[in-house]
Structure 1
Amino acid sequence: MFQMCLEFSRVVGKSLRQEFYEALDRYRPIQAHGNLQGKEGPHRASGVTEVRCLILRGLSVVVGDDPSTFLKACFLVMASKTSPTPCVQEGNSKSCRYQVQSILGEGTFGKVAKCTRMDDSKTVAIKMVKKRNDQAEKANAEVVILEKLKSLNADKCDIVQWYQVFNNNGYICLEFELLDKSLFDFMKERFFRPLFLSEIRPIIKQLANALEHLKSIRLIHADLKLENVMLVNHIQQPYRVKVIDFGLACEVSKAKVCSYIQSRPYRSPEIILGLPFTEAIDMWSLGCIAAALYIGTLLYPGNSSYDVMRCSQQLLSVHQSISVRNLSCSSRAKPPVSHFTWYKESTDGPMNVSEGHLYSFRATYGEVY
C-alpha cells in the first residue's frame, strides 16, 4: 500500500505531491515509524495499522471524496514481473506502469480495466483476477490456454490478442488488446432489434473461423455467448468481431463429464444431460448466437436447465411445420422471419419462466424489413 501511494505521489504533479506529503505529515504518528524499524515487538502490529490508516487518510485529502478518482489512484499499477508465482512466465522481468482510465466491467472473478501502458502509451485491457484459491487456479488455467493460443495468429483466427501476465497487489493481471464492445452491449444499444441477414453472416463466419482454429489445436471454448464476442471497432470495421474470455476453455482430452460450463441459454444438451462432449458444444452455442441476432431475443430462455430443455424440445417439435411453411413461399418473396415467444398454456401473456410450469410454443411470421 505504501509503495502504491509513493507511486501515486510521483505522477500527480508537484503541487499535489506536496499536498500529499503534507497530509501524511499531519496524520503520521511518529511512534509508528519507530515500531516499523524494529524487527519484533508487541506494538509492531498496531504501528503497521496506523501507517496504513494515515496513508489512506492522506490519499483522501489529495483525491477528495470522489470514488472514481480514488479508484484510479488506488489502481495505478506498478507491475513487477519478478514474482515467483507460477503464472508469471520467463522473460517478463522488466517493469511496466499502467494508468487506469476506466473500469470496463467486473464480476466474481475481479475487474477488467481500460489502461494506458506508460512505456509506449498504448491503450490495453487488463483483466485483474483476485488471488483467492479458486479464482487463482482458474486464472492460472486460463494462462495455460492463452499460452497455447499463441501458436495461432489472433487476427486471422478472430480471437483476442493476449500480451502477457503479471502479478500486482493481490491480483493476477492478464493484459489483452483493447476491443470495442460486446455483441450483447451492441444489441442492448439497439433495444435488441434483430439484425439483417447481411449483417449476421459476417459475424457467424468469423465465429465459425475462430472455432475451426480452436478445433485445430484441440481446444473447447466452453463459454461462447453474446457477451464473449467483441466488436473490434464498429465504426472503422463494422461487424468485425473476435472471441474473448477463455476462462472456462479446456483441451478436448481433458474434458470432464458433468463439468459446469457454458451459460444456460447457450448450454448444449450434452452438458445439461451430463454426457461426454467435444468441441461440438461450441457449435451449439454458435447456433444460439445466430438465432439471438436474428430474432432479437434468446432462443432458449429459462431459469434452469429444465426450462432450457423444455424450450429446446418444444421448438424442435414445431420445426417440421415451420419448414413446410417456408417451402410454400415464392423463391422471389422475402423469407419469413419466425418471432418466437413462449406462453403459459393457461394465459395469453408472455411467460414468466419458473420451474414446474407447462409452456406452449407459438411462432408468428412477418417479413424481414
Structure 2
Amino acid sequence: MGNSFGKLFKITTFGESHGQALGVIIEGCPAGLELDESKIIAEMQRRKPGQSKITTQRKEEDEIQIKSGVFEGKTTGTPIGIVINNSDQKSKDYSHISDKFRPSHADYTYFTKYGIRDYRGGGRSSARETAARVAAGAIAKQLLETKGISIQAFVSQVGDLKLEKHYGELDLAKAEENIIRCPDPETAAQMIDLIDGVRKDRDTIGGVVSCVIKNTPAGIGEPVFDRLHAELGKAMLGINAVKGFEYGSGFEGVKMRGSEHNDAFVQEGDAVKTKTNYSGGIQGGISNGEDIYFNVAFKPVATIMIDQESVNESGEAVTVSGKGRHDPCVVPRAVPIVEAMAALVIVDYILLAKSNKLQDF
C-alpha cells in the first residue's frame, strides 16, 4: 500500500536508497507519444546528487533504462517500466545507527509499522526514491507539452531569506542558471552563501519551492473529495521533508477582505479571464484557466553532522552521530521533484476530464 499515485495516469515506484536499483511502472500513458529520452535524462540530471557544494556529494549518474512500453521511439499504450541503478552506495556509513533511532527520521515509525528496519540510508523512506518520480514526471511533462502546458518551479526562500518579487516580474527560466535555482541572481547569491555557511556549521536549513503551471485549460478537476488543489496538496505533501503546502493567496489571504480577495471576471476575446488571481487558478476545486501557482515548504534535512541524543531499539539512551553524505538544504534538488509531481497530477486530471463528457467517448 502507498506506493502508487494517480488514477488514469498511474505510477508505482519501487526500490530503496542503498538497494540494487530504483524504478517506476507507469500505466495509462496514451499510445503514440514521441518520447524524447534526452528530456528524461535532463530532468534526472537536475535532481541527481553531487551537483554542487550545496548538495550531497553522493555520486549517482541516475542513468535510466526504459524496459518496456516504448517501441521505435513512441509509447505503445502498455505499461512503461524504467529502472535506475544505484552505483554509489556506502551502506557502511549507516552501520553505526543500525539499532538507533535518528531524530526526525522515519527510523522509529518504520520500525514500529513493519518490525524490521533497513537502516541503509533510510531504505524506502529515503528521498532517493524520488528519482523514480522524476523519471515518470518527465514523461508526463512531455505529454503536457503537446497541449502547450508548462510547469516551472524555483526556490523562493531559504531560512528567513525570501524572494520578495512576484513570479510575474521574473524570468523563471533563469532559475536554472545558478546552483540554488532561484530566478533572481542577487537573491540567489545570498541564498547560496547562507546554505554554505550552514554546511560549514555542520547543520542544515529549510526553504520553500514555488511552482507555476501555465496554460492549464479551464474545467480540470473533480468534485468533491478530488479537488484539483487537494490532489496537488497530496502530491506535494507526499514528497520527503515537506511540511506545508499553500496555493493562490494561501495563508496571506486571511489578511484580506472579500472585496479585495475576489477575482473579478472579464471577457477577453473568446476567453473568460480574471482581473486578479488570488484563487491561484483554481475555484471550487476546478481550474479556471489562469496560472496555477503554489508554495511547498521543506524542513531542514534531519541528518546533521552534530551529535544528538536519542534511544535505540531497546529503549536505552544513546548518542547519534551524523555521518555520510547529505544535503545541507534540500530545496535546490527538490525543484524538479515538485515539477514532476505537479505534472503527474495535471496529466491525470486532463485524462479524467475526457471521461466526463459524452462527446469525448
TM-score (norm 1): 0.27
Identify the structure with bigger relative contact order (alpha carbons < 8 Å, sequence gap 6+): 2
TM-score (norm 2): 0.27
Structure with more helix by fraction: 1
Higher alpha-carbon Rg:
1
